[in-house]
Amino acid sequence: MPIKIITLNANGIRSAWRKGLADFLAREQADLVCLQETRIQPAQLSADMLAPGSCRGFFHHAAKAGYSGVAIYARRSPERVVEGLGWPDFDAEGRWLQVDYGNLSIVSLYLPSGSSSEARQQIKFGVMERLTPHLKQMLADGREWIICGDINIAHKNIDIKNWRGNQKNSGFLPEERAWLDLLFDGIGWVDAFRVVDPEPDQYTWWSNRGQAWAKNVGWRIDYQIISPGLRGAVLSARIHKDERFSDHAPLIMEYAIDLP
């Protein structure tokens, strides 16, 4: 039985809920939903946000109210849940949540953005540097992995509409793109979307400035990144643009995987 996994930067789960996210999730009936930028504290979660439909919600909140945070909705209860990576500064921002089923782990990851300041860009670079050996070790441990999330980096020219004009901007800097080259071409991780969709103009985020959404002037910065053993299990990928719950669009993928 194939499994369906959705990833979405909600840009505030309460805002996305008001815009119809709960109805969308009810229709899609995904096995797992990975959310980033939930921007909510435990006491603010409504009952349906905690457990929409037949799913159970798991959350890793940021210490700072109204900021960052990740979540996973799971139709089947996982055997283990891991909040954070044991890095106090990173974990305080609520950026890593992992659920385990047998030999398969699914992660909701929210990589920092560097667009607000040079200081935040340096923090982003620091997280990328620390993640590199961890991602190598993950592939060496014999598990299969699906990392879902807002990586805040467009990888290649095909992944961003205005690539010429953005080469000096956070999210498309040469150092950031080289890091994804290392992940995919060096370490061996796989960009699952590109396994089944090689086409241009496939974006998951649009600036709120100008007419970016209307003109499809976007960036593909939301990913499902898989261990190489799952490459052959990728069945389909689509970006849901019929409704807007956020400045990001849901990335919906199906895999020929049986959850244990």
pLDDT in tens, 99-152: 999 999 999 999 999 999 999 999 999 999 999 999 999 999 999 999 999 999
Q: Evaluate whether 166 touches 217 at the Cβ level (below 8 Å).
A: no
What's the Cα-to-Cα distance from 232 to each of 229, 251, 257, rounded to whole Å?
7, 19, 10
* pLDDT category of residue 173 using cuts at 50, 70 and 90: very high
Q: CA 18 to CA 185: how far, in whole Å?
A: 40
Q: Is residue 260's pLDDT more than 90?
A: no
Please list the alpha-helical segments (H only) found in the chain: 13-18, 21-28, 47-50, 88-91, 118-140, 174-181, 192-196
What predicted TM-score, i.e. pTM, was given to this entire model? 0.98
pLDDT in tens, 1-57: 899 999 999 999 999 999 999 999 999 999 999 999 999 999 999 999 999 999 999
pLDDT in tens, 190-228: 999 999 999 999 999 999 988 999 999 999 999 999 999
The per-residue pLDDT for 198 is: 97
Architecture field, domain 3-255: 4-Layer Sandwich (3.60)
Top pLDDT among 209 and 167 is at 167
The per-residue pLDDT for 70 is: 98
Q: Which residues are catalytic?
A: 150
The per-residue pLDDT for 194 is: 98
* pLDDT category of residue 59 using cuts at 50, 70 and 90: very high
198-211 core/surface letters (b: 16 or more CB in 10 A; e: else): eeeebbbbbeeeee
The per-residue pLDDT for 209 is: 87
The per-residue pLDDT for 210 is: 85
Q: Is residue 66's pLDDT more than 90?
A: yes
Longest dimension (CA), the chain: 47
